[in-house]
Amino acid sequence: MAVQEQARLVPTIPAEWYHAPDIYARERREIFAKEWLYAAHADDLKLPGDYVATEIAGYSIAIVVGKDGVRRAFHNICRHRGAPLFTGASGRIDSGAVACKYHGFTYGLDGEFHSAPYLKKEELDCAALRLQRVGLGELHGMLFVNLSPEAKPFDAARAELLGDVARAKYPFERYVHRARVERTGRFNWKAWVDGYQECYHCPTIHPIFNKDFNLREYKVANRDGFSIHSCERKAGSASPSGAHEGLWLWVYPNLGLPCYEPCYYTLQVNPLGPGETRLSYHFHFKEPLDAPATKEFLRFVEQVTDEDISICEAVQKNLESGAYAAGLLNAERENGVAYFHSRVRRALA
């Protein structure tokens, strides 16, 4: 029977999309250069001169606090000949201006062009030399950027997400940014998102979930540009993720946002190329800090991550083999993956 005719099984995106360089180039243009992308947390950007420099799908971005206390995002690219201006993952500039290390063009922290060696400012079109602005949006201290000059403002583009998060009443303000973990793996970024968007694999890959959750009841509700995951806990569960129901979100295209009782974390799924992905976790723990519970929670996430990386790397190899054209999704248990694929298909159409 043809794949399309099986009512309970629906086709995935083609296997080729998980490794072809031209597809990756299109995703950078059509998804990563157009969507709101999680970039940083406001905890790193409190005082004038604070900055964060990050790279998302190969786009180099800086978020900077100006002398006026306003946060702005820019392409981290000197207008002269393209050198990066803000170096390291984060830092603070006390002088009020950033000088390019290549030839010394200097810019204010608001992105205005200040000076260039051996050139008279009066003779230059300073407006054309301003740093290129990038859109910036915020959700409870989580900062999102958008590279498209045509992008809708964050609050309008993500109105449904903002509304649902507000209704969930998760107390983000009680949590403090305490730990970061970075991992890289040899798999396409979508292979990771696919796994994040379902718990069909939980009984087999993550025995730890079996213990505490009634996985038969795992549900994914797809909304406008995000999905809400939920699952009933077993009675008497002593999971390191705490006792309450939690709020587990995935935000298109590449952010996991699980909010548990002891901790919430952002999981940025950041493509480094068609077959390599960096996972950046930023953990925010509830105050006052419970040190043993914190350690236990980090260990729990590390174990689940190890399990997911190893299956994603094995799957990636087969997707690249040429022996497999496309897969099948269980329409009921993998509806989150189907939704993600529908968004990718639409973006690349």
Interacting partner of 308 out of ligand FES, Fe ion, none (Cβ under 5 to 8 A depending on kind): Fe ion
Residue (263 or 312) nearer to Fe ion, CB: 312
Stretch that binds Fe ion, among 166-174, 190-198, 295-303, 313-321 (CB under 5 A): 190-198
Q: Does 105 engage in binding with ligand FES (CB under 6 A)? A: yes
Sheet-wide strand order for 97-99: 97-99, 106-108, 113-115
124 binds ligand FES per the rule CB under 6 A: no
For the chain, the residue count is 349
CB of 103 to ligand FES, least distance (A): 3
Asked if residue 308 binds Fe ion (CB under 5 A), the reply is yes
Residue from 26, 28, 34, 80 that binds ligand FES (CB under 6 A)? 80
- Please, what is the minimum distance in Å from the beta carbon of residue 79 to ligand FES? 8
Q: Please name which of 219, 242, 206, 198 lies closest in space to residue 341, comparing C-alpha atoms.
A: 198
Structure tokens at 91: 């830092």
Residue of the chain from 81, 92, 121, 174 that contacts ligand FES (CB under 6 A): 81
Shortest distance, position 120 Cβ to ligand FES, whole Å: 16
The region of 39-47, 103-111, 113-121, 308-316 touching Fe ion under the rule CB under 5 A is 308-316
Q: Does 100 bind ligand FES (CB under 6 A)?
A: yes
Q: Which is nearer to Fe ion, 35 or 308 (CB)?
A: 308
121 binds ligand FES (CB under 6 A): no
Measured from the CB atom, is 34 or 183 closer to Fe ion? 183
As a whole number of angstroms, the distance between CA 292 and CA 249 comes to 26
Phi then psi for 264, rounded to 5 degrees? -120, 150
Pairing of strands 263-273, 276-286: antiparallel
Show the tokens assigned to 131.
């740093």
- Exactly one of 103, 174, 211, 299 binds ligand FES (CB under 6 A); which one? 103
User: Are 252 and 193 contacting, i.e. CB atoms less than 8 angstroms apart?
Assistant: no
Whole-angstrom distance, CA of residue 225 vs CA of residue 137: 15
111 contacts: CB under 8 Å, gap ≥ 6: 64, 72, 74, 130, 131, 133
Smallest distance from ligand FES to CB 105, Å: 4
Could you give the C-alpha distances from 221 to 83, 171, 213, 237, in angstroms and in order? 43, 22, 18, 24
Name residues whose C-beta falls within 8 Å of residue 84's C-beta, 6 or more positions apart in sequence. 53, 60, 76, 77, 78
Give the x/- contact pattern for ligand FES in 330-349, rule: CB under 6 A.
--------------------
* Pick 121 or 295: Cβ nearer ligand FES: 121
- Count of chain residues binding ligand FES (CB under 6 A): 10
Q: By the 8 A CB rule, do 261 and 241 touch?
A: yes
27 binds Fe ion (CB under 5 A): no
Applying CB under 5 A, which residues contact Fe ion? 195, 308
Applying CB under 6 A, which residues contact ligand FES? 78, 80-83, 100, 102-105
